[in-house]
């Protein structure tokens, strides 16, 4: 476990770069929270989509801020055992929650695909089209990014093994 923390801390970036990266990564979660709150009552076909966006965006912000604080305030891994334990347990807990929440959100979003009515606001299956499309593509983009990361990781591992 310390090896992962050491690799994270050994990244050659200053605290300024870490803060700028965190701000850039905060854009999508902020949009998720905003869209969830703005359109909270505009998708009776699946009321949990707005909750998914609000909670998912909040958890992502908590995770990013936690990692940034660890980068800035904790000494190198192995130097402060308490800091290592707290940051590892907290990060793992948030990450596991985000994974489970992502699966739940995927079910809510994809089960509504081609089944909602974006035009009749009085229909039981009404869902604001902009809201649904945002939720759909933000979730789909995460699946795409996971796929890209897996392919790159496999390619990197294969390359390292062949050397």
- Each domain of the chain, given as residue ranges in start order, spans 2-162
Q: CA-CA-CA-CA torsion for 46, 49, 50, 52, nearest 10 degrees?
A: 140
The residue with greater pLDDT, 107 or 1, is 107
Q: What is the pLDDT of residue 13?
A: 58
CA atoms within 13 A on the CB side of 14: 3
pLDDT digits (tens, 9 = 90+) for 106-148: 999 999 999 999 999 999 999 999 999 999 999 999 999 999 9
pLDDT digits (tens, 9 = 90+) for 57-93: 999 999 988 888 887 777 666 666 778 788 889 989 9
Question: What pTM did the predictor assign?
Answer: 0.80
The residue with greater pLDDT, 154 or 81, is 154
User: Could you give the angle at which helices 81-110 and 48-73 cross, rounded to 10 degrees?
Assistant: 160
Q: In Å, what is the CA distance from 142 to each residue of 12, 77, 86, 163?
A: 26, 29, 27, 32
């Amino acid at each position: 476990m310390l090896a992962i923390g050491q690799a994270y801390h050994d990244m050659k970036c200053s605290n300024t770069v870490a803060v700028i990266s965190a701000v850039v990564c905060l854009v999508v979660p902020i949009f998720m929270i905003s869209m969830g709150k703005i359109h909270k009552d505009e998708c009776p076909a699946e009321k949990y989509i707005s909750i998914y966006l609000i909670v998912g965006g909040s958890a992502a912000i908590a995770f990013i801020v936690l990692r940034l604080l660890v980068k800035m305030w904790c000494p190198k891994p192995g130097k402060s055992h308490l800091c290592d334990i707290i940051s590892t347990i907290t990060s793992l807990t948030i990450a596991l929650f985000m994974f489970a929440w992502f699966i739940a959100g995927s079910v809510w979003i994809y089960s509504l695909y081609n089944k909602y009515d974006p035009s009749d606001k009085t229909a039981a299956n009404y869902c604001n089209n902009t809201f649904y499309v945002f939720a759909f593509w933000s979730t789909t983009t995460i699946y795409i990014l996971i796929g890209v990361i897996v392919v790159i990781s496999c390619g990197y591992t294969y390359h390292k093994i062949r050397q």
